[in-house]
Structure 1
Amino acid sequence: MTADAPTVLATSGGIRSGRHTYFEFSELTQFAVELAGVTGRTPRICTISTALGDNPHVLHSLAEAARVAGYEHSHLQLFPMPNVPDIAGQLLSQDVIWVMGGSVANLLAVWRVHGVDTVMREAWQAGVVLTGVSAGSLCWHVGGTTDSYGPDLRPVTNGLGLLPYGNGVHYDGEAQRRPLLQRLVADGTVPESYCSDDGVGLLYRGTAFVEAVAEIDGASAYHVAREGNSAVETVIEARRLH
């Protein structure tokens, strides 16, 4: 069973240091799996770490995190070549697709070379829950702020656009994020945007924003809209996951 509508949980979290493993999935990822509505079998999750160049340590650590969580795990690897003969078949057979952070600019370029952008839209429309952290949040949107090009943040505007909004990740965690995102909305570089503090996820059903959820006390989400030549920020209270 998959979600009953196209579903994205775009987050600045969902993973943390593990007690006995390098990573473990945290409440936001657990919520994404719940959204898939799996009953009577083990949930299937595919992790993707294109944004970190398919680093072998990350691939192994995500597989360990999935094992500890009790998920049926697979991964899509694109370096040095795809690790599966049928990318569409691999992704469309999942309950959840979980995308690791890193360079969103490189992720988008490599995905387009291999047609993953098209398959992601098919998976989304089929009810496979799309989630992930940082670059794995930005990618579903039109664009937002990124450190893909260096330590001084710059805009990215060629996201997959499944969601017709901008996205601000790590909104409270990195000093450049909030002012740059607001400038980009104010000058029209990115459309109205939804933003997440560290530990917050943004839930969309279809292209509609539904709610913000948090795995950290006191963390919030934000809506940033253009009014004239300015950006207006509205705080969205996040429902605490337990």
Structure 2
Amino acid sequence: MSHHKVHDDVGSAVADIPDGATLAVGGFGLCGIPDQLIAGLDARGVTDLEVFSNNCGVDDFGLGILLGAGRIRRVTASYVGENKEFARQYLAGELEVELTPQGTLAERLRAGGVGIPAFYTPAGVGTPVSEGGMPWRYAADGSIAIASPPKETREFDGTEYVLEQSIKADFALVHAAVGDTEGNLVFNKAALNFNSLVAMCGAVTIVQVEELVEPGDLDPASVHLPGIFVQRIVHTGPQDKRIEKRTVREAQS
């Protein structure tokens, strides 16, 4: 069987990602983050990145590693909590941030993958999402340096909708539970949410898989994403499972 998509290590899989690249990155909270691909980028020192992702990790994990090293220039996300350095950079004018409703972000990624340039949605109508004015970047003095522009709206059957543009990225970084050497992928539970959509919108999609199998080993009915969307695969083994928040109570005697 041909293994032309399989890379021996993370370093070779991300070797040609340049400074200034646009990256779509999978994961949902800390679930299904392509952590080893991110670490490979960090090791190379790639910088000036524009990132599309549901969130930006936490301070010492996931995209938070690249953020803390000052390698990210702009982020489009739907949730940016749990990361103090993210908040600091944004409020200090060091980071440009575009916030978008989570469902809209998901559809923007999917639309980019299937060749739809834009779509109408009711999410955000009548708010700064459609009317503009959200601070994308602050100036050092706290004033707004770049604000979001107003978006086109249109009425269909008596309901107003806002036009949202799809997302296409130079590279997509993805984590999957199982993949075959042709790039057919299976995701584990909530890791399916954004990894499958991110994989679709990348011009070059790079996947780290916990388990790598041969073509034919996967039941076609169980495949979540077909290999046509995947260009590179690296077998990284079981992922370090992180708990985003741990709440405990004192032991009672």
**Is TM (by shorter chain) over 0.5?**
no
**TM-score, normalisation: structure 1:** 0.33
- State the structure with more CA Rg: 2
